[in-house]
């Protein structure tokens, strides 16, 4: 039974990047109602990312937030040797699940990414003639226009029950960030945990 769950996880385990949450929201959710009220207690966390540092940070943060609500959790990156190509084999995951007696597996991967750049020109008064425009552009160099970049990231998170091999919950989150990968990860995980608590898959503490 466990092997079937792991096969599905491995199928979506492709190399992607986690990039740097000022604004995060859940845009789509799906829950198996038969699991509502049956809170999980021990979760194996798998972050799908080709960058080892971001993967470890993501999984570590998820473990911390689950621990904070009273759920045991283990990072796959912390307990399973990471192959050079980042792809985990089925046997590795089965061994970890059996060793840590996980009752659920959580997988998160990037569903889409978009970058938006905003341009805000500096405003100056312009005198007529060529020298007026020279003065304008000179001032523009002293106080240039501002340019800011915003990263829109869509992440899909899936929670699987190990015993029944079923998908318990899935959620698609959308976030805009202008600062850091760390804040992006914290924001995404926070809304995912709240949504799973809302569906009584995680305890409220």
Highest mean pLDDT out of 52-66, 91-105, 178-192: 91-105
For residue 47, the model assigns a pLDDT of 86
DSSP-assigned beta bridge partners for residue 179: none
Counted domains in the chain: 1
Other CB atoms within a 10 A radius of the CB of residue 160 amount to 24
Tell me, yes or no, whether 123 lies in a domain.
Answer: no
**What is the C-alpha separation between 165 and 158, in angstroms, rounded?**
12
Q: Find the CATH number of the domain harbouring 159.
A: 3.40.50
Higher pLDDT, 13 or 160: 160
Tell me, yes or no, whether 50 lies in a domain.
Answer: yes
Tell me, yes or no, whether 65 lies in a domain.
Answer: yes
Tell me, yes or no, whether 113 lies in a domain.
Answer: yes
Tell me, yes or no, whether 36 lies in a domain.
Answer: yes
What is the extent of the structural domain holding 110? Answer: 2-118+152-198
**What is the C-alpha separation between 18 and 54, in angstroms, rounded?**
6
Phi/psi of residue 140, nearest 5 degrees: -60, -35
**What is the C-alpha separation between 194 and 160, in angstroms, rounded?**
17
**What is the C-alpha separation between 107 and 1, in angstroms, rounded?**
18
For residue 10, the model assigns a pLDDT of 43
Higher pLDDT, 88 or 162: 162
Helices 90-100, 2-11: inter-axial angle, 10-degree rounding = 130
Question: Mean per-residue pLDDT for 60-67?
Answer: 95
Tell me, yes or no, whether 139 lies in a domain.
Answer: no
* Strand ranges for 122-163 from DSSP E: 146-161
Tell me, yes or no, whether 146 lies in a domain.
Answer: no
Tell me, yes or no, whether 186 lies in a domain.
Answer: yes
Question: Mean per-residue pLDDT for 127-156?
Answer: 59
The model's pTM is 0.72
pLDDT band at 111 (very low <50, low <70, confident <90, very high): low
């Amino acid at each position: 039974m466990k092997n079937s769950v792991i096969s599905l996880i491995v199928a979506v385990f492709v190399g992607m990047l986690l990039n740097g949450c000022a604004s995060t929201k859940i845009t789509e959710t799906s829950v198996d109602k038969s699991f509502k009220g049956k809170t999980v207690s021990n979760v194996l966390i798998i972050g799908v990312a080709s960058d080892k540092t971001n993967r470890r940070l993501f999984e570590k943060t998820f473990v911390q937030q689950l621990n904070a609500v009273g759920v045991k959790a283990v990072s796959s990156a912390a307990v399973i040797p990471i192959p050079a190509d980042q792809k985990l084999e089925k046997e590795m995951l089965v061994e970890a699940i059996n060793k840590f007696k996980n009752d659920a597996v959580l997988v998160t991967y990037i569903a889409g990414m978009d970058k938006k750049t905003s341009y805000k020109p500096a405003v100056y008064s312009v005198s007529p003639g060529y020298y007026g425009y020279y003065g304008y552009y000179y001032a523009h160099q002293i106080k240039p226009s501002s340019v800011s970049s915003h990263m829109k990231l869509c992440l899909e998170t899936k929670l699987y029950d190990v015993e029944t091999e079923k998908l318990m919950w899935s959620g698609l989150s959308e976030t805009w960030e202008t600062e850091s990968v760390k804040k992006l990860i914290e924001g995404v995980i926070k809304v995912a945990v709240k949504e799973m608590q809302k569906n009584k898959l995680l305890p409220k503490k």
